[in-house]
Amino acid sequence: MTEHPFKDTGPRDGFHIFPHELGSMEISLHVGLYVEGQLEFDSALGAASVEVMACQDPAPANYAERNRAWLVAEAICRYMNTGGSWSELADIVSKLQICIPHQVEREGWHLFDTYADVNGTPTHVFLNDETGEVVRWVEGKFVDTGLTLDDLQRELEEEDAEEDDESEVSNPGVRACPLQCGRDNCRSDEAAPDDSPKVS
């Protein structure tokens, strides 16, 4: 009988992108293969990971550029983890370039951050270099203009507080799996960090 191909696959396995920061002196992104939840050393490369991008003495805009690269590199890792090929990916990119022939630029503005919110919705924050105005673009939902960084920080703190309150009311004593497996009170020893209390 052929061995099941997922027999030894763990939830943390596969190719993954991870960031590295050397204080305020350098930021970088790396890609590596995880086996049994651990970064695997590649003897052919002579290293456990490959640097995807790096920036010395990063400015705030460089952190945003790092996060933007992180999103696309992470998507490519997921694509390859699920059986994608480089030739198919190259074909996809070539077709995307037909519709998107050049970079989308907004003069006077730069990307401040890009991330998925608590619901997984892609969210992009842009900053005007001269006025300090902030625009928050939540894909498929709304675009906020006329904000400041202080406004945005205050809103995020209020949202976090509301989510904490709702979690305590609707799910008392329920812990989400740290591996985001989608199950509450996940009892996997592998999923629960050693420094966190186990749910019994």
Residues 59-104 pLDDT 10s: 888 998 999 999 999 999 999 999 999 999 999 999 999 999 998 8
127 or 165, greater pLDDT: 127
User: Residue 81's pLDDT is what?
Assistant: 95
* DSSP conformational letter for 10: -
Query: Which residue reads 């309150």 in tokens?
Result: 165
- How does pLDDT run across 137-193, given as a tens digit for each residue? 999 999 999 999 899 888 878 877 776 665 554 443 333 333 333 434 333 333 322
Give me the amino acid identity at 1: M
- How does pLDDT run across 25-58, given as a tens digit for each residue? 999 999 999 998 889 988 888 888 999 999 999 9
- Beta carbons within 10 angstroms of residue 142's beta carbon: 8
Q: How far apart are CA 151 and CA 169, in angstroms?
A: 27
User: Residue 167's pLDDT is what?
Assistant: 54
Helix (H) or strand (E) holding 110: strand 109-116
pTM of the model: 0.70
Would you list the domain boundaries of the chain?
Answer: 1-102
Q: Which of 95-99, 105-109, 140-144, 195-199 has the lowest mean pLDDT?
A: 195-199
Q: How far apart are CA 191 and CA 178, in angstroms?
A: 6
